[in-house]
Amino acid sequence: MIEVLYEDNHLLCVVKPVNVPVQEDSSHDTDLLTMCKSYLKEKYNKPGNVFLGLVHRLDRPVGGVMVFAKTSKAASRLSDSIRKNMFHKEYLAVTDGIPPEKGTLVDYLVKDHQKNMVRTTDEAHGKKSILHYEVLSAKEKKALVLIQLETGRSHQIRVQFSSRGYPLHNDHRYNKNVTKGTISLYAYQLTFPHPITGEPVTIRKMPPAKEPWNIFEVDL
């Protein structure tokens, strides 16, 4: 069962579970898009195929908030808002190691599509990638970090912190000191203009209250 945070005639805002793909991939595991379509089909007793527009993504191991469009007009306008940098995404992450208290990270990133890996490069070969962060709490040589994305590159948060020696806890792709468990990165908050009214919509969800999230005592 999906967790719905907000719904109207144009939007469906839900929580993406950890390790669930956003849309069907080579694993053929149940994906979030299919789950949401099934939810709408059952709730409204819709015959035939259900339209649901996918306008942004999260990596499979990452959980958190997502918005889908219930109409083609909403999908078009949400996509336009993303292009105009009107989607404000905030993430929570746990890093191995404690970075400086706050800062802005700027890199040029390039993706190896065959290996599905991203690395830093120079301006001539990569896409400019910017994020802002603040350390909210530090404990047991780990830090709870609030991140605001200015650009939305593939694996951006993971690579930018890893390249500085503060890889995300349990990031099996970019952290050499991985233990068992899933990556400690969570799409905590999303604010965007409603595609019809233009009014701001904010959806928010805290990470699950288990290790390593629960070692920090922070009120957001």
In angstroms, the CA 186 to CA 66 distance is 11
73 domain-assigned: yes
130 domain-assigned: yes
Domain count, the chain: 1
216 domain-assigned: no
Give the residue numbers spanning the domain of 154.
3-206
211 domain-assigned: no
Band of pLDDT at residue 123, cut at 50, 70 and 90: very high
**Looking at residue 14, which CATH number applies to its domain?**
3.30.2350.10
Closest among 48, 18, 23 to 35, alpha carbons compared: 23
pTM: 0.92
Query: pLDDT, tens digit, for every residue of 44-101?
Result: 998 888 999 999 999 899 999 999 999 999 999 999 999 999 999 999 999 999 999 9
Given a contact cutoff of 8 angstroms between Cβ atoms, the answer to whether 33 and 22 are in contact is yes
Q: What is the mean pLDDT of residues 26-33?
A: 86
The DSSP code for 209 is S
218 domain-assigned: no
User: Is 184 buried (19+), middle (13-18) or exposed (0-12) by CB count in 10 A?
Assistant: buried
Q: Please report, rounded to a whole number, the percentage of residues in the chain having pLDDT higher than 70.
A: 100
115 domain-assigned: yes
215 domain-assigned: no
Burial 113-123 (b: 16+ CB within 10 A, else e): eeeeebbeeee
125 domain-assigned: yes
What is the three-class DSSP state of 13? strand
Average pLDDT, the chain: 94
In angstroms, the CA 19 to CA 195 distance is 29
What is the three-class DSSP state of 77? helix
